[in-house]
Each structure stands twice: as structure tokens, then as C-alpha cells.
Structure 1
Amino acid sequence: MAGSTVGDGQESGRTEFAIRLRAAIATSGLSLDRIQARLRARGVVVSVTALSYWQSGKRQPERQSSLSAVRTLEEILDVPAGSLLGLLPPPRPRGGAGKRHAGGEPLSFPRQVLQPLLEKVGAPHALDRQQPLKMVGLHDLCEIAADGGQRAVTARAVFQAAADGQDRWLLVYTQDDPAAGVPELHAVRNCRIGRAETDEAHGLLVTELLFDQPINRGETHLIEYTLTNSGPPYPECRNTHYREFRRPVREYLLEVRFAPGTAPGHCWQYSRNGATGTLARRPLKLDGADGVHAVVFDFGPGVFGIDWD
């Protein structure tokens, strides 16, 4: 995936965001005190210390309030909208349920929470053994409601068997907003729901998706399923949707579709390499149907997603 790499492309310990911010501040001729005053005049509260840390690379804006401040900062410094915000990585997960894991073995969800559920669905060794079923293609459609929450996710996945008699796939999914409860799973095509377990406290769902018929070595199988949330209000999704892949996937297509008239001003695709931690990021263009998409090939292990302001 092409785009700026944040965290690796550093100069004297500073990120690309810090370098660009420092240059913009220098060009503006404004002191940090004057910038803080102009932010405050627009109803944005940021300390001089925070501004100093941002431009030195000691810290980066992460909270939603800080990201909103960066948007205002772009106006004050007279730089193109999104030119600073687009250099920032996606929000980091907060706690155990901070990331969405759909599509198999997660990279970072606490094992002590997940393992009991795996045992209950008859897959106690799912995290440790080599899987005889390979995901070769995946298409996610994430639908965002008018209130900004996640209404539904529809997934189409294609698998190829590395051994005879493969008849099921294990789905692991968590909500970013555990208080909203676990979404309702619907088997749409070529599969049905098998054993399922939930952890309401963490918004975690572990379930089998049973194939309509077993497949043998070299054969492929296509399934489709939907995860639907109740609302409104719909569960908070932190302005992002992403997948974690423990093993490589040949092709991953992610679509995000917004309710009519609610499309955001800026969208970005991002990926994090699971082996090196390298983050890549680039802006995306909205289409004429209030949607945006990103595609990646031969990706994983790692995280790939779309976020928006």
C-alpha cells in the first residue's frame, strides 16, 4: 500500500507529522502562545505543552478532541485541510475490546478472555495450530448510520482448502462499544451458524460458520454473512473500521458506506505490518454514492482499515 509511513520515516526521532507541524508553525510566524490563544478563541482547548510535544514528536494527537484540534490548527496555520491530520496513525485500541477482530485468529485480543470461548465451541487449539483452510479473498461492506454508529457489516469470504474435508470456519468478532451488546449474526449464503459463544462484558462473539458442503484440498468455497447492530443509537465505531489478519490474505476489499448526506470530509486507508509495526497511510476519495473503498493484495499478518474525520 502506498502512502506516508508514520513512525518509521523519522528525522532525529520526530515523526512526519511532527516535522510538518513544526515547519507549518515556523512558516506562520506564530508563537505557541499565540496559536493556543487562537485555538481557544475557536472553542478548542489545547495546552502550550501539548503543542510543544506534538511538534517535537514526543507525543502525537490521539483522542478525538485532539484530532478535532488538529483540524482547527490546519486552518490557523493556513495549510491544506487534512495535510496534517492525514499523517496521523489510526486511533490505538483502548483496553481489551478496543479493536475489531473479524475473520479468525486475532493479533492482540487478550488470550485469557478468548480462550474459554474457543474451548466452548470445540476449537481449543485454534490460536496455536496451522489452519488447513486459507482465506484467499475477503470483501467487507461496513454501513455507517446517520448518527455515526455502525449499522451493519456484510462480509463475503473465499476459502481454499489445504486438506480434505474442510467444512467450517471460525469467526471471532468484537465491538468497539461493548455496552451495545453483541451484534446479531445472519448466515446469508453457502453457510449456516454452528456453535456460538459470547462474552457480553467485552462485546465478543465466537462462532462456527458451517459450510453447506465440505471441500477437499485445492477446492474453494464462498460464504456470505452479516453482522447487524440494533439502533438507533448505533454502536460507536470510533470513526474507523478494520480487520486484523494473523495470516496473509491474497486480496482484501473494504467498503465503507455512509448514510445519505452524512459522508465525512476526509477519509484515509491505513495498514500496520504485524511483523515490523510499520504504518502506512494515504487519503481516499469518496464516490458518488456516499461511500469509499480501499483494496490490498497479498497482505498480512497485520491490520488494514479505513478511518474518517
Structure 2
Amino acid sequence: MRSGNSEVRGSDDSSGESFSSALRSAISASGLSLDRIQARLQRRGVPVSVTALSYWQSGKRQPERQSSLSAVGALEEILELPSGALLGLLSPPRPRGTRSRGRHRPPEQTLTFPREALQQLLARVGAPYALEEQHKLSLVGLHDTCKIAADGGQRAVTARCVFQANADRQDRWLLVYNQDNVEANPPLLHALRNCTVGRAEVDVEHGLTVAELLFDRPINRGETHLIEYSLTNEGPPYPECQNTHYREFRSPIREYLLEIRFDNGCVIRNCWQYKQGTEDNSMDRRELTIDGTNGVHAVALDFGPGVFGIDWL
């Protein structure tokens, strides 16, 4: 599970045009040099180097941090483009650190954090072979609610999960949570319904938490079990979440509902859902509409393995 970190932007773009090519074309059409564009950004209080602008239009890098995304919004105005014309072409962020989503890696081994770090935590909670074992529980339904504070940080995530047993006497589920903001304290895990927290271990360096969620009763093959839990952060200030929340699914799931609820102090311009498969790295993205309660949601059906999330600006 990934939260807060973990960036963008998407819309339905049937033309297949990339962010870099669209930016390059817009700059060429404007007749402005990169130096003049930088000066206009500076006057708007958005500092961006000429080198960064050059990298963006060449495709060597893409904007990911909040300050860079703000610069892209300003670029749309300077280059006289419709709102979202560039932001909507940005892809979700690349995984950070040493983790990799190699094209030829088996889907069940695709992780957005170092496998070795996860392996060590699994061993410490008594499940050293969890990554290699056949799944004895299937996650058939999941509803995440991510609450964003007025300062833009992640206040909490609440999850409601429905499992189905593929073998008898299943009595626990291993939660793996990745928080990109490693400078923040680990979130507090609370069991809310039909479960208790068992052994839990934290890797502060990689922002990883692994914990047992022990079912109130064992379930047998074919039976289902519903649990709820939450992860809450200290604040304010709350941990920076890089304007995104996503889940990485190592196995298919029938239904995933993701809600983002923004504090009334949050002013949100745009939201996108994005999903990326692991087998062919295909990307699908679509703009979302913020509802009357200053929230947004997206649903994935029969999805996975892959990454599904919501990003905002």
C-alpha cells in the first residue's frame, strides 16, 4: 500500500502525445526562449532553472514535486494553453530509492520498495517466506479512505478489507505499508473492526511498516472475513504526501474503491485517477470531478497486478 507520495497527472489523452513533446511544441509556438520563460516564472514567484525547463522539454526528467507542478500550471498560462493541457499529460511518479518495476520482473515480485528491506521485516514478524508462499487469502474487496489535512499532509488512512480463504484455518493478514516521507514518524496502526494488531515491525530508513492483523476467528476455505483498520499520522504539520495516494496490488482484486477527503482548508484545482499494469507497463489515466464534500473517488474493477491511485493539484 502506498500513500501520499507517492504524483501524476492524468487525463483521457487519445492522441498519445507526451508531456515533453507538448511542452516543446508550445514553447516553439510561443517564440519565447527558455531564459524569457524562466524570467516570467520568476515574476510569478515560481522559481525554476533553465536547466530544469530544458530537461522537461527533452523528456530527460518530468515534474513531480509540488513546486514543479505549480510551475507547470504557470507555464500553461505563460504559453497560453488551456488549463490542464500540460498537467494532464504527466505520468505517475517513478518509484523512489532502489526499488524497481522492471518490465521483465514477475508480477508477483513487483514491489515499489526494496525487496530485501521487506524480507527482513517479514522475518521479524514470523513470516520469512510470505513472498514465496502461495496466497492462502484473497483480497476480494477493498475500500480506502485517505484524509488530507489543511496543510496538504496526510492525516490518516482508513481501510475496509474483505478476504476470502483459499485454505482452512486462516487467522491473519500481513499489512505492508510504505510511507515515502521517511523523515516523519511511522503512522499509528489501529485495529477498528473484527481484528487486533499482532506483531509489528518498522524500517524507518525505507518508511516501511509490516504488521499482523489477527482475525477475531479463523476462517476456512471459501469463507469471507471483513476487517477495518486505520493508520494515523502525528500533526500538524502532517507528513507530506506528494499529492497522491495509491495501492500496489501484487494479485488481482475484484473491486477497489479509493476515496480522498480534503480538509475544508484545501484548495484543489484538479484530480486524476491513474492505473498501471505490471505486465506491459500500460498506463491509463482519467480526470476526476471533486464532489460537493470536497472529496473525490475512483473505482478499479477486476484489476491487478499493478498500481492504482489518485493524484491532485
TM-score > 0.5, shorter chain as reference: yes
Q: Which moved more, 1:140-149 or 1:26-35?
A: 26-35
Conserved? CA contact 1:97–1:175, under 8 Å: no
State yes or no: 1:286 paired with 2:290: yes
The alpha-carbon distance between structure 1 residues 289 and 30, as it changes in their structure 2 partners (threshold 3 A), is same
Q: Which residue of 2 aligns with 1:186?
A: 190
Q: Which residue of 2 aligns with 1:128?
A: 132
Letter in 2 for 1:61: P
Matches for 1:14-53 after TM superposition, within 5 Å = 16-53=18-55
Matches for 1:193-232 after TM superposition, within 5 Å = 193-232=197-236
The alpha-carbon distance between structure 1 residues 5 and 204, as it changes in their structure 2 partners (threshold 3 A), is farther
Matches for 1:269-308 after TM superposition, within 5 Å = 269-308=273-312
Gapped runs of 5+ residues in structure 1? 10-14, 99-103
Q: Which residue of 2 aligns with 1:173?
A: 177
Letter in 2 for 1:169: W
Letter in 2 for 1:294: A
RMSD value, Cα: 2.4
State yes or no: 1:55 paired with 2:57: yes
SS of 2:205's partner is helix
Conserved? CA contact 1:274–1:302, under 8 Å: yes
State yes or no: 1:3 paired with 2:12: yes
TM-score normalized by structure 1?
A: 0.88
Q: Which residue of 1 aligns with 2:238?
A: 234
Identity, % of aligned positions = 68
Among 74, 77, 81, the alignment partner of 1:75 is 77
Q: Which residue of 2 aligns with 1:12?
A: none
The alpha-carbon distance between structure 1 residues 249 and 52, as it changes in their structure 2 partners (threshold 3 A), is same
Higher RCO structure, 1 or 2 (CA under 8 Å, sep 6+):
2
Superposed displacement of residue 105, structure 1: 8.0
**How far apart, in 2, do the equivalents of 1:275 and 1:137 lie?**
22
Conserved? CA contact 2:11–2:287, under 8 Å: no
Superposed displacement of residue 78, structure 1: 1.5
**How far apart, in 1, do the equivalents of 2:264 and 2:90 lie?**
27
1:169-213 CA-partner distances (Å, limit 9, x unpaired): 100112222222211111111111112222233332111111111
Matches for 1:255-266 after TM superposition, within 5 Å = 255-266=259-270
Conserved? CA contact 2:66–2:243, under 8 Å: no
Conserved? CA contact 1:163–1:216, under 8 Å: yes
SS of 1:82's partner is coil
Gapped runs of 5+ residues in structure 2? 1-9, 101-107
Letter in 2 for 1:200: V
**How far apart, in 2, do the equivalents of 1:5 and 1:167 lie?**
46
TM-score normalized by structure 2?
A: 0.87
The alpha-carbon distance between structure 1 residues 56 and 191, as it changes in their structure 2 partners (threshold 3 A), is same
The alpha-carbon distance between structure 1 residues 5 and 134, as it changes in their structure 2 partners (threshold 3 A), is farther
The alpha-carbon distance between structure 1 residues 97 and 202, as it changes in their structure 2 partners (threshold 3 A), is farther
Q: Which residue of 1 aligns with 2:103?
A: none
Letter in 1 for 2:18: E
**How far apart, in 1, do the equivalents of 2:20 and 2:208 lie?**
36
Q: Which residue of 2 aligns with 1:101?
A: none
Q: Which residue of 2 aligns with 1:247?
A: 251
1:249-291 CA-partner distances (Å, limit 9, x unpaired): 1111100101113141111111121122222222111001011
SS of 1:251's partner is strand
Letter in 2 for 1:85: L
Conserved? CA contact 1:97–1:202, under 8 Å: no
Conserved? CA contact 1:25–1:77, under 8 Å: yes
1:136-159 CA-partner distances (Å, limit 9, x unpaired): 110000001111111110000111
